[in-house]
């Protein structure tokens, strides 16, 4: 059994590379989120044969309002659509995927796309709260740690992340939008990361404002209405972007700059 990577070392390495600012380093280098980040790291770097790697990371909302609005089935289907799209990509051998629900449940840690667990009624029953900031810090910490692990082993890595919510933050105990923004800005500055967000209309929340305050760029914000058709289309848009970004470094850069509107 390969030894779990030392998170502290990975984040120090990211700081030494100039990837992580002090503010981000402090936010991530907290004892009790370390265990949550470790839970997502999954496959060991030595077991990945690809000469370059793309990490695709999803955080589906599992708050009660998803179920209340009748959207649990479409969120499950949306995630499975993304997996199917990546499976049909000619680059699938380079892609690792990870799914952590908004309340911290890890459906699967980083693994080859062919090993991703599909979302079903059995493993996804949205009935929790919306600790959006706290869990986004954990999610991005996991993306950063895994990316740094590959980078430290000389493997070029790019990442594509999608955060999904149908409400503004509620119940975050530690992080604020500002904490998230510091990490997002550090990641985007390296030009190896795409961070996207989907705000499913709850009739109340200005998701553009919520996500902007978290540092997410306008061109990477999706705001579907509450209908199944719109939510399905939003997931398809993300799928297309993730596949496009995984094709090559040039394709990644083009997609990153163009956002969901990339032709």
Say what the pTM is.
0.97
Does domain 54-252 fall under CATH 3.40.50.410? My reply is: yes
Which of 20, 12, 15, 17 is CA-nearest to residue 184? 20
Which of 38, 57, 55 is CA-nearest to residue 164? 57
Q: What is the pLDDT of residue 2?
A: 60
Mean pLDDT over 236-263 rounds to 93
DSSP 52-100: SEEEEEEE---BHHHHHTT-HHHHHHHHHHHHHHHHTSTTGGGEEEEEE
pLDDT digits over 47-97, tens only? 999 999 999 999 999 999 999 999 999 999 999 999 999 999 999 999 999
Question: Cα angle at 158 between 168 and 167, to 5 degrees?
Answer: 10
Is residue 259 very low, low, confident or very high in pLDDT (cuts 50, 70, 90)?
Answer: very high
- Tally of CB atoms within 10 A around 203: 8
The answer for residues whose C-beta is within 8 angstroms of residue 117's C-beta and 6 or more apart is 99, 107, 108, 123
For residue 1, is pLDDT > 60? no
Is residue 98 very low, low, confident or very high in pLDDT (cuts 50, 70, 90)?
Answer: very high
Q: Phi, psi at residue 48, to the nearest 5°?
A: -105, 120
pLDDT digits over 164-213, tens only? 999 999 999 999 999 999 999 999 999 999 999 999 999 999 999 999 99
CA gap 38, 247 in Å, rounded: 28
**pLDDT > 70 fraction of the chain, expressed in percent and rounded:** 99
């Amino acid at each position: 059994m390969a030894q779990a990577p030392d998170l502290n070392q990975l984040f120090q390495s990211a700081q030494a590379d100039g990837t992580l600012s002090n503010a981000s380093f402090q936010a991530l280098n907290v004892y009790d989120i370390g265990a949550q980040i470790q839970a997502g790291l999954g496959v060991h770097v030595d077991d990945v044969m690809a000469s370059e790697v793309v990490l695709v990371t999803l955080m589906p909302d599992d708050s009660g309002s998803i179920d209340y609005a009748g959207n649990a089935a479409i969120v499950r289907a949306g995630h499975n659509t993304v997996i199917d799209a990546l499976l049909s990509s000619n680059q699938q051998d380079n892609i690792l995927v990870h799914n952590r629900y908004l309340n911290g449940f890890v459906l699967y840690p980083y693994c080859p796309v062919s090993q991703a667990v599909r979302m079903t009624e059995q493993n996804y029953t949205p009935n929790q709260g919306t600790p959006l900031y706290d869990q986004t810090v954990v999610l991005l910490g996991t993306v950063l740690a895994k990316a740094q692990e590959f980078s430290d082993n000389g493997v070029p890595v790019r990442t594509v992340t999608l955060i999904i919510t149908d409400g503004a933050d509620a119940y975050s105990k530690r992080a604020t939008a500002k904490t998230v923004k510091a990490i997002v800005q550090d990641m985007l500055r390296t030009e190896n990361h795409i961070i996207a967000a989907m705000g499913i209309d709850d009739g109340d929340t200005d998701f553009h404002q919520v996500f902007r305050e978290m540092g997410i760029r306008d061109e990477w914000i999706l705001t579907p209405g509450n209908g199944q058709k719109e939510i399905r289309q939003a997931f398809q848009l993300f799928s297309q972007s993730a596949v496009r970004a995984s094709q090559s470094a040039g394709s990644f850069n083009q997609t990153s700059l163009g956002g969901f509107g990339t032709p």
